Chains A and B, each alone.
Chain A
Amino acid sequence: MKKYSETHEWLEIKDGVAYVGISRHAAQELGEIVFVQLPETGAAVSAGQPACEIESVKAVAEVNSPVDGTVTAVNTALEDAPELLSEDGDAWIFAVEPSSAAAGLMTEEEYKEFLG
């Protein structure tokens, strides 16, 4: 079950690992994504703070981590195929080992309502 932040990232916990991606809405707003500056494995991230950047042809956006923790893995498939983020709202960007529970995130329903 994905949970969403107000800055349009999602967080999904699978087998104890928290995966982070961006919402379909965010991907659409950005347009064709051309590059993902992945964070480094082992980097500390904080909830609501930028963890990495994604670029479209004529825009650049920061991806905030929805949760405090440490980056344990990055989706290297995005290095060669950043378009996966444009095409598929399910592509994850990085995985985090949370150091505290995620707070203030929305369910899919709530997020839809938030978008209005």
Chain B
Amino acid sequence: MKTVFEKSSAEIKGMEMPAPQVEKHIFAEGLLRDGLRLPELSEQEVARHYTALSKRAFGVDDGFYPLGSCTMKYNPKLHEKLAALAGFADVHPLTRADKIQGSLALIDTLNSYLCGITGMDAFTTQPCAGAHGEFLGLLLIKAYHASRGDGARTKVIIPDSAHGTNPASAVMAGFEVVHAGTDASGDIDLDALRALVGADTAALMLTNPSTLGLFEKNVLKIAEIVHDAGGLMYYDGANLNAVAGVVRPGDMGFDVVHLNLHKTFSAPHGGGGPGAGPVGCKKALVPFLPNPRIADTDEGFRFNYGKRSAGRVSAFYGNFGVLVKALAYIVTLGGEGIAQASETAVLNANYLREKMSLHYPIDTSRPCMHEFVVSMKKLKDDTGVTANDVAKALIDRGIHPPTIYFPLIVEEAMMFEPTETETKEGLDRAAEAFGEIVRLAYADPAAVKRAPVTTPIGRPDEAAAARHPVLVG
């Protein structure tokens, strides 16, 4: 398809803007640029171009989207309407506090709900995404240890099943990464952990349920080992959708958490963002939260500037529009609804796994949480058909592929997360489609390797793209 630039015509002048009501300012000539290349199209042409692009995309409303670890649940339409209200969207972030009580109250209310859900004592909404939250959360931990004169705590322990953001965030926050081994079911090896922790341990980062979709049974023991060594526990909230309303990270022994409002709390992913990654912490770390903090005073909500902040990580107060959507979600569901959503997410995942196991060997001996991982190694060994091939074949059957090749500790991994909003019919159909692809792999592997055939393009040459990058058109 032609790019918007290729559709452009020099004859068209774009949207007409009102002429200035005052005299035009003439800048010194040396300051001004020569030309500016932008698309030149009529409004209808722009609308058609982007509508055509949208038809070459796949959203949650288009079909089943079991992308593991991404929690692709339905995004309520009401939330878009609310975030777009002039009272939110047309408000400047630097307006005097007494004129923006609604925004401040909303953030404060959301923070208190998030404290209730996680068992933390305070939250900040400044981080714009999960990884951004990790970075800030680790800075809080660093500031906490430093405030106690404990500068020797330079290491962060991360299980090898973790998301790549965890080790990358630890390095950005100035820590050294130590890898903790996990057993076949993704649980941390406690003896190995005991040997790892020490006077240099700043924290352990844990996703629970783990990226294998299993609840870390020993979490209390792990917290005890880390705390006894003087370290802190960091909760990666990527998988909170399994346990929100059921169990709180704070009770599991975590000291700092980040949440992904664009996962658990139903804000849409927008093709890659914006998300929101608020960070919560226990009392001892509250002084290090970034400024400004919101205080509920006798005169209403006010901004507060602490002296011990670990530092600002972005402009203003984070992705406020996303916060509006998350709050709407929480108040609609309420405590019971949130627990019911988690329970249904877990039920759907177990059900899908069970149904898929009728077609391909999948270990179902231990209940999974909201997602599960299937290794396609046997299929690859038997037929040459890989996880990637199966993913592409699912596309032809109207299903967005699961996450593939993650976690790294499982060969030929496919990670399915159906979420609570999927229908039983959708789950049944997905299991059938999976079974059909597995049978096809044994009968005619080349047919699976040709997939997808129903899409505007076939598999692109990614090697060529990376060898000789063409990044602008």
Task: Scan residues 71-109 of chain A and give those whose CB is less than 8 A from a CB of chain B.
Answer: 81-83
Question: Does A57 reach chain B (CB closer than 8 Å)?
Answer: yes
Chain A residue nearest to B467 in the complex (CB): A34
The interface of chain A, by Cβ under 8 A from chain B, is 32, 34-35, 55-58, 81-83
17 A-B residue pairs with Cβ-Cβ distance under 8 Å, sorted by A, are: A32-B462, A32-B463, A34-B463, A34-B466, A34-B467, A35-B466, A35-B467, A55-B466, A56-B463, A57-B462, A57-B463, A57-B466, A58-B405, A81-B467, A82-B467, A83-B463, A83-B467
Q: B466 to chain A: which residues have CB within 8 Å?
A: 34-35, 55, 57
Question: What is the distance, in angstroms, from B463's C-beta to the closest C-beta of chain A?
Answer: 4
Chain B: how many interface residues by the 8 Å CB criterion? 5
By DSSP majority rule, is chain B's interface helix, strand, loop, or mixed?
Answer: helix
Question: What is the distance, in angstroms, from A57's C-beta to the closest C-beta of chain B?
Answer: 5
How many A-B Cβ pairs are below 8 Å?
A: 17
Q: A82 to chain B: which residues have CB within 8 Å?
A: 467
Question: What is the distance, in angstroms, from A87's C-beta to the closest C-beta of chain B?
Answer: 12
Task: Scan residues 428-468 of chain B and give those whose CB is less than 8 A from a CB of chain A.
Answer: 462-463, 466-467
Q: A34 to chain B: which residues have CB within 8 Å?
A: 463, 466-467
Q: A81 to chain B: which residues have CB within 8 Å?
A: 467
Q: B405 to chain A: which residues have CB within 8 Å?
A: 58
Interface string of B390-431 (1 = CB under 8 A from A): 000000000000000100000000000000000000000000
Chain B residue nearest to A55 in the complex (CB): B466
Question: What is the distance, in angstroms, from B159's C-beta to the closest C-beta of chain A?
Answer: 20
Q: B463 to chain A: which residues have CB within 8 Å?
A: 32, 34, 56-57, 83
Q: A57 to chain B: which residues have CB within 8 Å?
A: 462-463, 466
Q: A83 to chain B: which residues have CB within 8 Å?
A: 463, 467
Q: B462 to chain A: which residues have CB within 8 Å?
A: 32, 57
Task: Scan residues 201-249 of chain B and give those whose CB is less than 8 A from a CB of chain A.
Answer: none
Question: What is the distance, in angstroms, from B419's C-beta to the closest C-beta of chain A?
Answer: 26
Beyond contacts A34-B466, A82-B467: 13 other A-B pairs, Cβ-Cβ < 8 A, are A32-B462, A34-B463, A34-B467, A35-B466, A35-B467, A55-B466, A57-B462, A57-B463, A57-B466, A58-B405, A81-B467, A83-B463, A83-B467
Question: What is the distance, in angstroms, from B462's C-beta to the closest C-beta of chain A?
Answer: 5
How far apart sit A34 and B465, CA to CA, in the bound complex (Å)?
9
How far apart sit A34 and B463, CA to CA, in the bound complex (Å)?
6
Q: Which 3 A-B pairs have the closest CB atoms?
A: A34-B466, A32-B463, A57-B462
Question: What is the distance, in angstroms, from A27's C-beta to the closest C-beta of chain B?
Answer: 13
Question: What is the distance, in angstroms, from A7's C-beta to the closest C-beta of chain B?
Answer: 18
Chain A residue nearest to B461 in the complex (CB): A32
Q: B467 to chain A: which residues have CB within 8 Å?
A: 34-35, 81-83
How far apart sit A7 and B110, CA to CA, in the bound complex (Å)?
52
How far apart sit A55 and B466, CA to CA, in the bound complex (Å)?
9
Q: A35 to chain B: which residues have CB within 8 Å?
A: 466-467
Question: What is the distance, in angstroms, from A85's C-beta to the closest C-beta of chain B?
Answer: 11
Question: What is the distance, in angstroms, from B355's C-beta to the closest C-beta of chain A?
Answer: 30
How far apart sit A35 and B467, CA to CA, in the bound complex (Å)?
6
How far apart sit A56 and B462, CA to CA, in the bound complex (Å)?
10
How far apart sit A83 and B405, CA to CA, in the bound complex (Å)?
23
Chain A residue nearest to B405 in the complex (CB): A58
Question: What is the distance, in angstroms, from A31's C-beta to the closest C-beta of chain B?
Answer: 8
